[in-house]
Amino acid sequence: MTDIEKCKELLLKVAEIGKQSRQVPPIYEVEPFQYFFSQGLIKYNELDKRDGGCTRREIITRYLLVNAVLDQGPHIPGVRKLLKEVTTDLYRKERRIFHRPLDFFSEMGISIDSILEQHKSVKAIFAENWSKNKKSSAASYNLFFTQSSRGIISTNQVLDYSVHRWGTPLCVPLLLEKDNQKNGKESGQPLIDYLESYSSAETMVQGIKNNNRYGLGSAIGDKAAHLFAKWYVTFFNLSTRKKSDTGWTDISYEVPFDGNVGRVLFRTGFFSEFASLEEYKKWKVIQLNSGKYGKHHIRVTNIRKKKVVDVENNSSLFRDYSDLLVNYLKMGSRPRGMEIQRMPGLILFQLFQQGYKYSIADLDDGLMHIGTTFCHNDKELPNCKECPVNKFCVGYKKKPKLISDYRT
Ligand code: SF4
C-alpha cells in the first residue's frame, strides 16, 4: 500500500532545500544585457520594450536556450562564465548574436576565436581547483563536449562544439524569423511566440527537442530541455501565459530524471512506494551486478512509461493525477494508469493544493543538491550523517543495502 504521506514529508523537505540552493544563471552580469536588470532583478515593466528588432524578453529567452544546451557540459560555473564572456566579447566586436543570430555564422572565424580565447581564460580561473576536486590534472579541464555512445564526453574539436552546441539553439530564432518573413509576419519575439504556441510548459519541453522543424534534436537532452522550462517559467518568470493558463504554472512541467535524481529517489525508498524491487528488475531499471564498482546499476531512464502497480482508478490519488495530466501538463485526456516518472510532480501538486507553494524547479534543485552534495555515486558510502533528509530516508534508517549495493 502506497504511503503518500511519507512521500509528501520527504518531498516537502527536498523542495524546501531546493528553494534555498537555487543556482540561477547570472545573466545580469552579461555586459550587453546589464541594463535589462536592476540590482540583479529583471526590470519586468520594461521586458516588452524593443531592443533593436527584438523585445528584451526575447533576447533573455534566446540566451537561456543556448545556456541550457551548454549546461550539459562539464563544470557548470565554467560553462556559464564561458557563455557570459564570449557573449560580451562578441557584442564588443559588434557581433550581436542574440539580436542577430546570423552574426554568429557570418564571421565564423571571429566566433570560433572568441570561444577558444575565452575558454583559455576560464580554464586559467577554474582548472586548478577543479582538478583537486576531480583528482585529475588541471591540463585536462575542457568545457567542449560532444555526444558518444557512453553519453556526453569531452572533445577537442571546437568546430563541432561551436556549431552543434552554440549554433543549433541560435538557429531556432533565426529560422523562425525567416519563416515569419516568408509568411509576411512581423514579430519582435518569434521564439517566444513559438514556445508559447504549445499548450503547456511540458509540451513545450517536448517540442524544444522533438519538433520536426525547430527541434534541437541531439543538441539537447531531456534534463536540459526541462532546465530551460525551469528558468523560463519559474526562475525568470518570462512566460506571458503564466498568470492566466494552468498549462504554464510552476507545476506544469515534469521533474526530469537523471542519475542524481534517480539515486536519491531510490535510496530514500520513494521508488519502492510505487513498484517492488522485482518489478524494477523486470523493467531493467535495476540491473544486477552491472553498475560501477561491481554494484547493481540503477538505470533511471528505463522508468519512463512504467506504471504504478496496484492503483485504483477511483482513488483520490488517481483523480489528482488525471487533473495534473489533463489540465496542467496537458499531455492527454484520460489516463489509463499512473506513470512513475510523474509521481514526484503529482505529490508536489497535492502539496501545492494544500497551500505549500513549491515549484517543480524547487523539487528538482533539491534532488540535485542532495544527489551531488551528500548522496554521491562514489565507491565509498554517501554522507548520510550530514544529509538533510536522513530522517526521511528508508535506506539510512531501515535498509542500508539500498545504499551500499546500488549505484547509478
Ligand atoms: S540519507 Fe544517505 S542515502 Fe539517504 S538521501 Fe541522504 S545521502 Fe542519500
Note the pLDDT tens digit of each residue in 236-280: 999 999 999 999 999 999 999 999 999 999 999 999 999 999 999
What is the biggest distance separating any 2 CA atoms in the chain, rounded to whole angstroms?
65
Pocket test of ligand 1: the residue of 6, 14, 264 to mutate, having most ligand atoms within 8 Å of its CB, is 264
Do 287 and 172 share a structural domain? Answer: no
pLDDT at 375: 97
Do 157 and 294 share a structural domain? Answer: no
pLDDT at 140: 94
The three-class DSSP label of residue 195 is helix
State the distance from the centre of ligand 1 to the C-alpha of 406, rounded, in angstroms: 12
Q: Is residue 147 part of a domain?
A: yes
- Would the CB of 370 count as within 6 Å of ligand 1? yes
Rounded Cα distance between 138 and 126, Å, is: 9
Q: Is residue 286 part of a domain?
A: yes
Number of domains in the chain: 2
Which band of pLDDT confidence, cut at 50, 70 and 90, is reported for residue 112? Answer: very high
State the distance from the centre of ligand 1 to the C-alpha of 13, rounded, in angstroms: 13
Phi-psi region of 196 (alpha: psi -120 to 50; beta: other; left: phi over 0): alpha
Give the range of the structural domain holding residue 296, as residue numbers without chain letter. Answer: 4-15+255-407
- Would the CB of 68 count as within 6 Å of ligand 1? no
Rounded Cα distance between 50 and 45, Å, is: 12
Pocket test of ligand 1: the residue of 383, 384, 385 to mutate, having most ligand atoms within 8 Å of its CB, is 384
List CB contacts of 123: < 8 A, sequence separation 6 or more.
78, 138, 141, 142, 143
Do 54 and 10 share a structural domain? Answer: no
Do 366 and 389 share a structural domain? Answer: yes
pLDDT at 1: 59
Of 176, 197, 218, which residue is a domain's last?
A: 197
Q: Is residue 234 part of a domain?
A: no
Pocket test of ligand 1: the residue of 7, 9, 261, 375 to mutate, having most ligand atoms within 8 Å of its CB, is 375
